[in-house]
Structure 1
Amino acid sequence: MKTQNKDLSIETFRGIAILLVVMGHVIGSKSTGGMQVDDDSIYRYLYCLFDNIKMPLFIAIAGWVYSLHPVEKGKLSEFILKKAKRLILPMIFVGTTYFILQYLTPGTNNKGDITSIWKIYIYPYTLYWFLPALFLTFIVTSFLDLSNLMNTVKKWAIITFISWGLCFSQVSHIIPDSIPNLFAFKNALYLMPFFFVGVGLNRFKDNLATQSMKNIYLIGLIIGVILQQIDFFTPMEYYNKLHLNILIGMISSAYLISIKINIPFFTWLAQYAYSIYLFHGFGTSAGRIIFRKLHMSDLSVFIGATIMAVVLSIIIEKALIKWRPTKILFLGKK
């Protein structure tokens, strides 16, 4: 995949976002996962610092790219089939491979019961929750577009506000936990406001990407980061109760997408972003196990596992892309 005809700024931030995702998974969202670092460690601080940026930015970029080639009238079935091949096939085949390797490999975290493998095709499974959730996000967006519900700034703003409300309802458990999270639909509710931010910033750039709007995004980003820092060192009840991390993610994504920057290393990395997402779990797990057995420092584990995850993912893509069945089933490519 070449980047000559792509927006180099978007590709730069796509590369940055996927690297932040990998680093986050190396560290682990909790002290019981990943590197199993303490909650007061510098690594937990780094995880929390970028937690409200990495995935929202990654999703917002997906929305921005979608708006370049939205669903066309009369081609809904073709659009859905294309997205199913791109997202659901890798969810099944890469997810199954990861589950089995994790089950068989000594020293991995959160092993599943092999008799429960069927659940990974119906419910969210580890980092692969993203694939069915994004698939549902594409479907919802396609129906909204075909119904002309996001063809003006006003309509887009209303839909984005509604999506924020649904996201808030999901993360605040207003939507009961007793409702099964079938096909990661609750995760899709989390993704949608960020996705719609990306759609709007491209579709209505003359309204949403002006210098005055960039200044507003920047101010919001600064305020959000400050509140985030305060909450990390002195937890604030209202911060989590209001789930300000959603707004911080939306505003930070809007600011980063609206500015122009080109960093060649990240534009190069961006061409492998999807494969890195699919396969970095193999590298982060292997890296942590190997470097821990060598009794290396946390810093060495962090850097080593991150590099291994990225490099291994690129190698896997280059190997799988050579054979048509693996190219289709594991990479979702034509």
Structure 2
Amino acid sequence: MDTRRDDIDTLRGLACVLLVALHVIGEEPAHGLGVPMNHPLEILGTLTFHLRMPLFAVLAGFVYALRPVSRGGLASFMGGKARRLVIPMAFAATLFWVMNMATGGAFSVPLAQMWEIYLFPYAQFWFIHAVILCLAAISLLDLALPRRPLAAAVIMAGAGAALFLSPAARGVDFLSLDLTLYLVPFFAGGVIMARLPQRVMDRLVLPLAAAGAISFAIFTAATLLDPDLEHVRRAPFSLVAGLTIGLALLALKPRVSALAWIGRYSFTVYLYHLIVAKVFHRAYAIAGAPEPYTAALVGTAIAILLPIALHWAVMRAGGPLPGLVLGLKPLKRGESADKANRLPPAPAATPAE
């Protein structure tokens, strides 16, 4: 029986599309398609600031809560996460580094400092550091409070919010600690959403949707009124907006088949889209940098579809490649290449603590 969660896959797909589009367009005029500051495409990328990484973190927390650590299983749990996340991250980061060194790209790192790409923020791969550290934190809390899973998540959320707003680890790049503290409250929020009683969740849908809409409207108005406004990750409004928007989307359980299909390959797209985007940027420059709107659509589609094609090819190839490139086990006879990240179906009800 297919146990995919179309609502979770839809949100994964949405987060993927937003992130890939940002990287295709470019975060600065010197990157991507080279659109100037305050260009409509640049503003569009800015408007998704509180949607992209907070939503990824909310989903990571929610998915953890569906398959939490078991008593006495911390080592095997974290070992499994290392195989699923760290090994393919290291492979993809190495491949991205080789490409940049060969082409003189912006992410070139001298050979003597190459080891830094695995331990410090490097392109989009810092998110894997953050997820691993969040998983370790919530696992320890769950093991310490085995009968109080919701309390464990609330403690993580409270501590995470305090650290988010504090001076702690600001500017600390080792294991992406600064960026990890940016994501902890959102990750914990996802865990809480998975552990709340269903009757409470049902009552929260409209308030969360309203709060998320208000946050997005305020951010949109501020951005349009002052396109040069600096957006800071670890700031009070970023905390409120990231939580309300991310949790509202999770509560609404949207289902869009095209996004859900992309979401089934979200980790592969996340790892490898920037390699494709960089090649597309070279082709765009060679073509004389034509009209950017069509280029943004075409580039985003290509940077999503080629990693998915890679996923299929690697899974069909079998052997050690799925584990190395994707963090997955080889397919068994009769299985399809989109088998990764299967989730349990949504529970009819969640008992109160």
Task: Tell me the alpha carbon deviations over residues 175-224 of structure 1, each in whole angstroms, 9 at most, x when there is no partner.
Answer: 353xx42222222212211111111111114365223x222212221221
Report the more deviating stretch, 142-151 or 89-98: 142-151
The partner residue of 1:293 within 286, 298, 304 is: 286
- Write the distance in 1 (CA, Å) between the matches of 2:56 and 2:13: 9
Per the alignment, residue 325 of structure 1 pairs with: 320
Per the alignment, residue 9 of structure 1 pairs with: 7
Per the alignment, residue 254 of structure 1 pairs with: 247
Per the alignment, residue 133 of structure 1 pairs with: 130
- Write the distance in 1 (CA, Å) between the matches of 2:45 and 2:272: 20
Offset at 1:152? 5.4
Contact 1:64 1:201 in 2 (8 A): yes
Are the structure 2 counterparts of residues 269 and 238 from structure 1 closer, same or farther at C-alpha, using a change threshold of 3 Å?
closer
Per the alignment, residue 159 of structure 1 pairs with: 156
Do structure 1's residue 147 and structure 2's residue 139 form an aligned pair? no
Do structure 1's residue 184 and structure 2's residue 181 form an aligned pair? no
Per the alignment, residue 199 of structure 1 pairs with: 191
Do structure 1's residue 31 and structure 2's residue 29 form an aligned pair? yes
Offset at 1:133? 1.6
- Structure 1: state its 5+ residue gaps: none
Are the structure 2 counterparts of residues 253 and 246 from structure 1 closer, same or farther at C-alpha, using a change threshold of 3 Å?
same
Alignment of 1:1-334 (within 5 A): 4-105=2-103, 108-148=105-145, 151=148, 153=150, 156-169=153-166, 173=167, 175-177=169-171, 180-206=172-198, 208-211=200-203, 213-235=204-226, 242-295=235-288, 296-321=290-315, 322-334=317-329
- Report the residue type matching 1:44 in the other structure: E
- Write the distance in 1 (CA, Å) between the matches of 2:237 and 2:283: 38
- Write the distance in 2 (CA, Å) between the matches of 1:238 and 1:131: 26
- Write the distance in 2 (CA, Å) between the matches of 1:297 and 1:186: 37
Task: Tell me the alpha carbon deviations over residues 267-290 of structure 1, each in whole angstroms, 9 at most, x when there is no partner.
Answer: 211111110001101111111211
Task: Tell me the alpha carbon deviations over residues 102-151 of structure 1, each in whole angstroms, 9 at most, x when there is no partner.
Answer: 11125x43433333212112211111111122111111110011111893
Are the structure 2 counterparts of residues 208 and 327 from structure 1 closer, same or farther at C-alpha, using a change threshold of 3 Å?
same
SS at match of 2:27: coil
Are the structure 2 counterparts of residues 154 and 119 from structure 1 closer, same or farther at C-alpha, using a change threshold of 3 Å?
closer
Offset at 1:174? 5.0
- Write the distance in 2 (CA, Å) between the matches of 1:187 and 1:203: 25
Offset at 1:46? 0.8
Are the structure 2 counterparts of residues 115 and 304 from structure 1 closer, same or farther at C-alpha, using a change threshold of 3 Å?
farther
Contact 2:15 2:56 in 1 (8 A): yes
- Report the residue type matching 2:275 in the other structure: F
Contact 1:103 1:114 in 2 (8 A): no
- Write the distance in 2 (CA, Å) between the matches of 1:255 and 1:193: 15
After superposing on structure 2, the runs of 4+ consecutive aligned residues of structure 1 that deviate more than 6 Å are 236-239
**TM-score, normalised with respect to structure 1:** 0.90
Identity of aligned residues (%): 25
- Structure 2: state its 5+ residue gaps: 330-353
Aligned residue pairs, count:
325
- Write the distance in 1 (CA, Å) between the matches of 2:325 and 2:230: 43
Aligned-residue RMSD, C-alpha: 2.3
